[in-house]
Amino acid sequence: MINSAGDTVVDGNAFREVIEIAHQMQGSSAVSELLRLSAALLEHCAYELARSDTRGQVSRIILISAELERMARDAAVQ
Answer for the pair 35, 75: CB distance below 8 angstroms, yes or no: yes
Residue 10, pLDDT score:
73
Q: What residue ranges do the domains of the chain occupy?
A: 28-77
Contacts of residue 42, Cβ cutoff 8 Å, sequence gap at least 6: 61, 62, 64, 65, 68
- Mean pLDDT, rounded, of the chain: 86
What is the pLDDT averaged over residues 52-57? 73
pLDDT value, residue 3: 58
For residue range 16-46, list pLDDT tens digits in order: 898 999 999 998 889 999 999 999 999 998 9
Cα–Cα nearest to 21, from 29, 12, 30? 30
